[in-house]
Each structure stands twice: as structure tokens, then as C-alpha cells.
Chains A and B, each alone.
Chain A
Amino acid sequence: MAEYKYNPLAEEEINLIHNRAIKVLKNVGIKVKDTAAYDIFKQNRANINGEIVKIPESMVKDALQSTPSRITLYGREDKHNLELEGRECHLGTGGAALKVIDIDSKKPRNATLKDISLLAKLVDNLEYIEFYLRPVVAQDIPEELVDVNKYYAGMLHTTKHVTGSVSSIETFNQVKELGSIIAGSFESFKEKPFLSFITCWMRSPLSLAPGPTEVLLKILKEGLPVVLSSAPMAGSTAPVTLAGCLVQLHAEILSGVVLTQLVNPGTPVIYGYVPSAANPVTMDYLGGSAEFGILNSAAVQLAAYFGLPNYSSAGLTDSKIPDAQAGIEKALSVLQVAQAGGNYIHHAAGMLESMLTVAYAQYVIDNDILGMVSRILKGIEVNEDTLAYGVISKVGPGSNYLAQKHTVRHLRKEYFFPGVMDRDSREQWQAKGSRDLWQKGNEKAKAILSEKTPPRIPAKIISEIKSRLKEII
């Protein structure tokens, strides 16, 4: 990837934020209630005061030393491997939306397990969406079957990396079994993890959530890649100032990093966050605010500065439909966070109504946004051939470059070729039915979904999965 080109924070500002986060950990502490994590902190050097655990700077330093600075999240085809390191950028889906805008009725309805399959198939066919983080919560199956089935449905239709969360140790074990069957053994699964986990272990401000923390400790013991995700909201669960929100986020994640390295030194952990700004008028949650993009890109810098792979969010909108507002809000945040070098930018495709709804058409539309953003990341290549002095002097003043070999040779390399965007003349556009992007996105999604494709898991393995995991539907 091209060298990093967008820096929302200056280096001295990063140091100031870090310094204050260290003070928060040392003087304010985190609330650790009823969890095994409490004992782990207690057995080490943390200062315990009732439910509050105060973490000295030396513990943070030790943890940062043992945390890997690079993680590979594997696809089930090599071309889909994701290197998470420094400021390498990858974009993909996200969310735990409850609703789907139906592809036929264009009305919102409850999400189902079938949506997880169909969306995976869509994502498998959209080249700029690089990974599949389960985007919806299936509401048509019993809650205890959701976890293993969503991972399975995802992998059945895409070979891109699949991420999700698990609600209990029991369902974690099912997903671990699923991964092991597909990989051939747990060891080969662990060596090339094509599945990964998110845990929302932190309840902002500065409190551990007992259930998710228990699952986190289990994942850590197995040594599988895990995202620590903290979601402070400036103005309600974090200070209203963006800098204050970042201090809290940084303190929260560092406390998590310390915990992971105490449990299993060297285990792969991802610095993850979904910071946001509350609606300044109503104090409700907002996904599409201008501040959202700034916060997430600044957090990328914080993670990268301390050598931790990062997980961030961009591409949310507060619009209910794929209108111009959706286009504006998505483009602004995705561009910022991608340019900051977010390693694993989720929510970047398909989302509407902040995190509550997804739309099939929106994945197709967002694939174009991600394609354009990827073009920006490539930047401007400057060398003797691209400077084109030879062809400029050959064409000379007042002529054109259409028929030049230089043009043909560089066209595909220098340009983004759009998918569904409109570049017709108004007359052509009218002749084709004056369709807006929502319609065109829907039509493209239908075309992809109607194609017959074989399952992405070999038939033999499918039957093995079904015989060993009774929970698979």
C-alpha cells in the first residue's frame, strides 16, 4: 500500500492523549465486577480498591511489548488474506442489524438466517468488500443456534474472512469445532484462522461487562485472534470533546490489552473501537456524524503509534434509505478512516439507519464507494513514465491524447472503473428509464443473487459438519 498520507493528530497530540490515558488508568481506574478478570488483575501488579482496578504504567508497557504488531486474518483463498499491520487498509462489512430492506418490497422487515447467506454471496461477488463481518442478527431461529449458524452460513457462500461475536463459551466451542472441521484440525485452524471474534468486553465509561469478558478469557486461552471493541459516545458515555473521548477510548482498550497479555502473553489482539458522537440535539446515538470519521481515524493513529493492529468503523449513515444523505455520510467517514490507514474498517458496506438496518442495494452502491476510496489510497504515481514528458512533447500544444499508446497502456492502471454509478448523458439516462442508484443497486444485487454458484464448502465437509454439529440448520 502507498505511504500513509492523512494525519488528523500531530505526534505531540498522540503523546498527550496517551499520557492522559495512562493517568486515567492509574488514578481513575476501571470497574471490574464479578469477573475472573478481577482475580487476574489482583494476582498481578494492579492496585485493587473495592471494584476498582487501577493499572500502573509499567503493566501497560509490558503488555505493549508482548502484543504482536502484525496479525494475518486468513481467507479460505489466499487472495483474500488480510494483513493487519501499521497502516495497511482493509474495508468490509459489519453490524448486528435487526432489519433488512427487502429486495423486492423495498420495505424494512426482520432479518433472517437466509439474509446472512444471501449477503455473504453478494459480498463474495463485490470486489472491494474484503471481509464478511456478519451484518445482521437472524431472528427466525432460536437464540442459542444463532452463533454457529451465522458463521456457517457466511462460510458456505464466501471464501473471504468471516468475523462475528459469540454469546457464550458453549457457542464459542461450537464455532471452534466448525473451524477445526473445515481446516482439518484445531492446530491448522489456529495456524491460519479464517474466522475471528469480536468481544464488546468494555461498557463505557471504564467498566468491564461480565458476560463478554468471560467469553474473551476463553478465546484468549485458545489463542485465536480477537478484537477488543470499545464504543464510547462523546457527550453521553464519554466527554463531549473529541480529545477527551479519545483519552477514554485509549485507556479502555489499553486496559483490555493488559488483560489479554496477562492471560496469554503474545496472543493476537486487535485494538478495536467504535467511538461516536451523540446527537448534540437529542443525545441519541449517531452513526453518520462528521465527528465519527475524525474520531475513528484519530484512533487508527493511536493504535498504529503503539504498534497494535486496529479495528475501526466507517460507512454508517443516519438516513433510512439509500439517498444522497447516505452517500454523503458514508463517503466522508470511509475516506477519512481509510486514508488514516484503518487495518480492518468494518460497517463500510450495506448499513443504513446507523446500525439498525441493512439494504441489499446498499452493498452494491457501497462497493463503488470503496472502489473509489481504494483508488484514492493508491494516490498519484510519479515517475518518468507517468510524468509523460515524452508523450506531451510528441502530442504538442493544441492536440489530443486519445490515440496515444501511452493512454492505452495506462488507462486501466490509472483509472477506477465504476460498477453501477451513472455517467450517461441525460438523454441516455432517460432512455434507460431514469433510474437512480437505489434501483440500479437493487437490480445488480438481484442479478448476482440469481446466479447459480456451488457452495463454498466441499460437499464432503458439509456432511461432516452436519454429522458432528447437531446445531447446524
Chain B
Amino acid sequence: MREIIKGGRYRPLSPNAVRKIHEAALELLIEVGISVGGERVFKLFKKVGAKVNSENKIVKIPYGKVQQCLQTVPNSVTLYGREKKHNLYLAGKNVYMGSGGVALNVIDLDSNKRRKALLRDVRNIARLIDKLENIHFNVIPVYPNNLKPEEVDINRFYASVLNTSKHVMGGVFTIAGLKKTIKMAEIIAGSKEELKKKPFISFIACVMSPLKIDSFYGDMLIEIAKEGLPVAVPAEPLCGLTSPVTLAGNLTGLHAETLAKIMIAQLVNPGTPVLYACTASSADPWTMRYVSGSIEMGLINAGAAQLAQYLNIPNYTTAGMSDSKAVDAQNGYEKALTSLLVALSGSNFIHDAAGLVEFAMTASYKQYVIDNEINGMVLRAVKGIEVNNKTIALDVFKKVGPGGNFVTEKHTSRYLRKEHYIPTISDRQSRSEWEKEGSEDIEHRAIEIGKKIFQEHKPLGLPSHVRKKIRQTFPEVWS
């Protein structure tokens, strides 16, 4: 099993600020309310005793009802991999990082050009992620443009599971597709019960900001909750556009929206494993367009992790993106800054933290290789400094004495790999060595490593009888 890394040494909000935001969100839910598009969700809230208005479809939720629903939310959720080493124990301040997005484009590894994403990209990116150790899960990152809409859901999940034994999470685009996907996962698990016991896939159901649950995502959430499978319920308020421009106002809206979605899951099926989720960001202050690499996004998502920790609900957050079109310094620092902030805050499931560029519209193969290194360094920082007699090493000082050196000490060889992150792609050569080998930047090295992974890495895959049964049951599944 992988070592569990715990964060929480960074606290952007004081305990008092957390309470204040929580209370303001509760006030929003009762005073302003949520606009509910679908009949099914509307009835759920009506039944539980919310004040509903059938004219404007606004439901106002009393404080006591929120508290009541929160009582059945699990405090820990295990998202399983198909190999035990890939299980994710989402609880407390445990930190995991992985991919995300529903990008429409990819940057191809061979041509190094942008093109439309295809089903084979779903497959290939899953395979790449399977090999990269600091990408802990696969939130299916692209939308295959070459499929009919009704084929998309099951093919996205099947292609991913076939190519990685890490946990696979994804959004779904039709209710029929969701049902087929669950059925397919049951075949792989062996039975409905086995899937529920060890869910190796999970889902995402969004909220529209501000304060709106549309009928599609509402119904989707109801269907997922009925099955008792894990689901993340992200709200995506954008400062100045779909939320107040202030970060505290953004978090208040987010908190109210997410609480409403968590309530739905618990009303349908008490105990549904649900993740408090945040994909909030800001707009560029010059143009008021969505940006994915802003520093405010990092602050908000770290704050959201604290809000979830306050309620003791496992959380899903967003970090590690860049708006740069090039693999340049901006690409590096935007990703590193937001990832470090959110990971240090102890967020459980940090998605979008691999592969995404250009406002999350494009997934880039080479970027997964680079982001794997960022995540590795970030996780090293989150692990922090172990302090005990052995690591303090007073006896080694006595032995080495003033003016000596530690290179040949046993203590050095024993702790070197434990205490020091070994990079996979960063350049640490002297300038002359680097020049001799062609003065390549990190982009070139990432492309080479990516190509090598495709030549060498074989994922776990699925047994042939399972593959056969899936293809027989679902003729729309591409082989």
C-alpha cells in the first residue's frame, strides 16, 4: 500500500472565518433559497419540509433540515482501485492528486499539435496515468468527439478501466449512459453487491451557480444515489460572474450550493458516499473570462477543503491547471502554486492536477509527464519534516565532528531515498553536460518519456471473458 500523506499545515481560513461562512451559507439556503429545475428534486425538498414555491421553483431550506441530512453523510469514503495499492482513503486530511477535466481537445504526442479528442485519447491517457505514480486516480479527462452522444458514457468508462487499474471517476452525459456504465461495472466487479462494496468507479454531478440545480444533473444525482455509488457534487461559482467577486462571497455561495446537493443524495439514500466538491475559480479581472490558473482559484479551493473538514465530509477540489498555451514558465508556476496550496490544506481528492492546459479546454499528453513531477514535489512538501532522534542524528554529528562531511556515513545512505524526492524529469545536470546532450527543455524530455511509456507500459487490463461479456451485453462498446 502507498504511504498515506496527510496535509493540513496550511490554513487560509481561521476557525472563526470557517464558522462565519458556514453560517452565512445556511442563511442563504433559508432566506434566498435554491432554484430547482426538475420535479423529482423539487418533491424531495418539499417532502423533507423545505419551504417551496411552485411558481418560481425556489426551495428554501431550514437550518434544522440541513443539519438532519448531514448526519447520514459518511465521514470517510474509500475509492477503490482494481489493485489494492491504488485504493484512495478519503478522510480527514489525507491527500491524493489526479487528473480531471472534460477537455474537447488534446495536444498530440507525435505531432505536438492540438486536435479534437477521440476515444483513443481516453484510452491512451488512462494508460499514461496508469504508469505515472504521482497521479493517483483518473478522472476521465477528455470528451471523445468521434462517438455518437448515446455511446459516449459507457465507452469513456470502459476505455479508461481497460487501461488503468487506478480508480476511475467521470461525469456522465445521459441517464441511459449512466445506467449502462453501472451495469458494465457490475459485470467487471462480479456482482452489484461487489461493486457497491468496492466501487472502482464513481461519478460527478454538478450544480449550476448561482444557487441553481437543473433538472438533468438533479435527476442524475438521484439515480447515482439510488445505487449507493460514490459521487462528487461540485459547484463552480466564478468570482464576479456567477458569484460575488469577493473570495469569501464565492465560498459562501459554493458552500450553500454543495450543501444542497449533499442533501439530495442523503434524502434519496441516507449514507450515500458523497464528496463535498469544489471547482470554483475566478475570472480574469481585465476581460471577465474564466481562468483556470489564477492564484485566487488556489486560495478558494484550499478554503473549500477547510469548509469540508469543518463538516467532517471527504472533499474533492480543483488545482494544478494553467492558462498558458505553451509549456513555458507560466505553465509551471501556475500549476505548482495552486497544487501546493490545495495539497497543503489537506484536501482529499485534488482533481484537474494533471494534463490540463488552456482554460481546461485541452488535455496534453506531455503535460501528464510534467505534472507527475509537480505532484511528486508537492506531496514531498506536504509530508513535511520528520523530527525524531534518528532524523536529528546527534550521534552522527559527534562522529563526523566540525569540518568533516556526511557523504560516506551509513546514516546518509539509509535515509537518502526516504528523505529526498528523486525527480523523474527535472534537469539537474551541469550546463556543459546539458549542452552536450542537446540543450533540451522540459517539454522535449516530457515528450520522450511519454513515448517511452507507450512503448513499454502494459496496464492490468481485464480478463478476456469479462471483455467478451461486456461487448455482448453492450454492442455499442468499441473494442
Contact = CB atoms under 8 A, between A and B. Distances in A.
Interface of A: 3, 5-9, 13, 16-17, 20, 23-24, 27-31, 52, 108, 203, 205-207, 234-244, 246-248, 277, 279-284, 286, 288-291, 293-295, 298, 318-332, 335-336, 339, 353, 356-357, 362, 365, 368-369, 372-373, 375-376, 379-383, 385-389, 391-393, 395-402, 404, 406-407, 410-412, 414-417, 421-426, 429, 434-438, 441
B2 interface: no
Contacts of B300: 380
Given A247-B392, A277-B420, A239 B397 contact: yes
Pick the 7 closest A-B CB pairs, nearest first.
Answer: A327-B332, A388-B249, A388-B244, A397-B35, A324-B332, A331-B333, A327-B329
Given A246-B385, A382-B14, 16 more contacts: A6-B9, A16-B387, A207-B403, A240-B420, A242-B419, A277-B420, A320-B434, A328-B333, A328-B374, A379-B299, A385-B246, A387-B252, A396-B211, A410-B245, A417-B286, A423-B287
Q: Which of B329, B335, B340 has the most A CB atoms < 10 Å from its CB?
A: B329
Nearest to B341: A376
A223 B240 CA distance: 52
Given A203-B403, A319-B427, A411-B285, A239 B412 contact: yes
B427 A392 contact: no
Contact of B386 (A243, A415, A423, A438): A243
A9 B391 CA distance: 14
Nearest to A328: B332
Interface in B345-388: 358, 370, 373-374, 376-378, 380-381, 384-388
Contacts of B454: none
Contacts of A324: 327-329, 331-332, 370, 441-443
A415 B285 contact: yes
Contact of B405 (A23, A237, A330): A237
Contacts of A247: 392-394, 397
Contact of A286 (B241, B248, B411, B428): B428
Contacts of A331: 332-334, 336-337, 340
Interface in B285-343: 285-289, 291, 293-296, 298-300, 303, 323-337, 340-341
A218 B330 CA distance: 44
Interface in B1-33: 9-14, 17, 20-21, 24, 27-28, 31-33
Nearest to A287: B428
Contacts of A398: 35, 208, 210-212
Nearest to B211: A397
Contact of A322 (B114, B328, B387, B390): B328
B242 interface: yes
A234 B392 CA distance: 12
A324 B335 CA distance: 10
Contact of B415 (A9, A237, A240): A240
Q: Which of B12, B326, B411 has the most A CB atoms < 10 Å from its CB?
A: B326
B463 interface: no
Contacts of A291: 380, 419-421
A289 B385 contact: no
A9 B385 contact: yes
A321 B442 CA distance: 10
A392 B249 contact: yes
Contacts of B285: 411-412, 415, 417
A243 B323 contact: no
B39 interface: no
Contacts of A241: 386, 390-393, 411, 415, 419
A280 B27 CA distance: 54
B312 to A, nearest CB: 21
Nearest to B24: A387
B332 A416 contact: no
Given A331-B333, A375-B296, A235 B407 contact: yes
B210 A397 contact: yes
B412 A240 contact: yes
Nearest to B374: A328
Given A325-B332, A326-B332, A397-B58, A434 B325 contact: yes
Contacts of A30: 402
Contact of B333 (A284, A339, A369): A369
A37 to B, nearest CB: 14
A389 B210 CA distance: 13
Q: Which of B58, B239, B384, B425 has the most A CB atoms < 10 Å from its CB?
A: B384
A435 B251 CA distance: 35
A396 B34 CA distance: 9
B196 to A, nearest CB: 34
A324 B440 CA distance: 12
A402 to B, nearest CB: 6
A318 to B, nearest CB: 5
Given A3-B14, A294-B384, A391-B244, A205 B404 contact: yes
A323 B442 contact: yes
Contacts of B288: 402
Contacts of A203: 403
A327 B406 contact: no
A332 B181 CA distance: 39
9 contacts: A23-B394, A28-B397, A247-B393, A380-B303, A381-B248, A387-B24, A392-B244, A422-B325, A423-B284
A247 B400 CA distance: 14
